[in-house]
Amino acid sequence: MTDLTEVSSTLQRATVLCDLGRYDEAIRLLHAVLARDPQNVASLCLLARSHLGQGSAADALRLASSAISLAPEHEWPHRIASLALSSLGRDDDAVTAARTAVRLAPHTAQCYITLAQVLAASGRDLVEARDVAARGVALAPHDPDAYLAVSTVAVADSLHADAVSAVHRALALDPDNSAAHNELARIQLHKHRTGNAIALAQAARGFATAVRTDPRSTVSRQNLDLVIHLFLARTAYGIFLIAWIASRFRGSAEPAVLRVIPALLLAVPIGYACRFIAGLPPQLRA
């Protein structure tokens, strides 16, 4: 493992595994490198990225901080630290870390993409976030992540048409981009906050596509589960409301009325459920 060629090969394999979302395998490889060379900055950054991908923001921040202490002038650990801090709700620190990455690597698109993401997540200075995201696109016009950053900022600014346009540009570059499909479905939900059956079904289709393109995507799978639970909750609430209304008539209406009113009212949640189910792809509907 001390051989530089072998270490480089291992890091390349770990990078590919991270790109594929196979974080457990990447972590095992990276621990082997760090066992021999605890100060390997690239390994620390990749390991931080892997933990961030698994949703362990605290571990990612700890590893990124170690990498920063070893290589304070390297933009990569600052960028990962920024994303970890944002996940932990430390918005000010996240923006500061992202700004540091931009200062250290002013010609690296990913630094601007990260800054745009954390600015959008914080909800502060969306004008700057749009400018930063545009800079990322200018530096990397063929990178889907640059357009996804534009979309993230647009959603934060309630510019849904702009967000959809940006996601479509990302999908034009990479039709199987799971993050882009997830973002498109997220926009659909964000746009229809109160929700309706058709919009909810469209969001479910988008999240299902994201899961299909990347079965390891826990975020897309969680979002899909959320949509299904939301549908079931709304349907159940409609039925409960009808039962409550029917109970108000008991004892004060004719028996025939008591039979007709609930039947008529039940058409509402039944129609809602039918519209939602009809809008699902066949596999998800089954």
Average pLDDT over residues 263-286: 77
Torsion 60-63-65-67 (CA) sign = negative
Share of the chain above pLDDT 70, in %: 90
Closest CA to 162 of 147, 176, 181, 144: 147
Residues 6+ apart with CB under 8 A from 265: 242, 245, 246
- For the chain, how long is the longest CA-to-CA vector? 89
Per-residue pLDDT reduced to its tens digit, 66-93: 999 999 999 999 999 999 999 999 999 9
Closest CA to 117 of 144, 100, 94, 138: 94
Average pLDDT over residues 116-129: 92
Q: What gap in Å lies between CA 155 and CA 190, rounded to an integer?
A: 8
User: Minimum mean pLDDT among 26-30, 113-117, 119-123, 186-190: which range?
Assistant: 186-190
Per-residue model confidence (pLDDT) at position 125: 87
Per-residue pLDDT reduced to its tens digit, 132-151: 999 999 999 999 999 999 99
Q: Is the pLDDT of residue 1 over 50?
A: no
Q: What gap in Å lies between CA 170 and CA 183, rounded to an integer?
A: 10
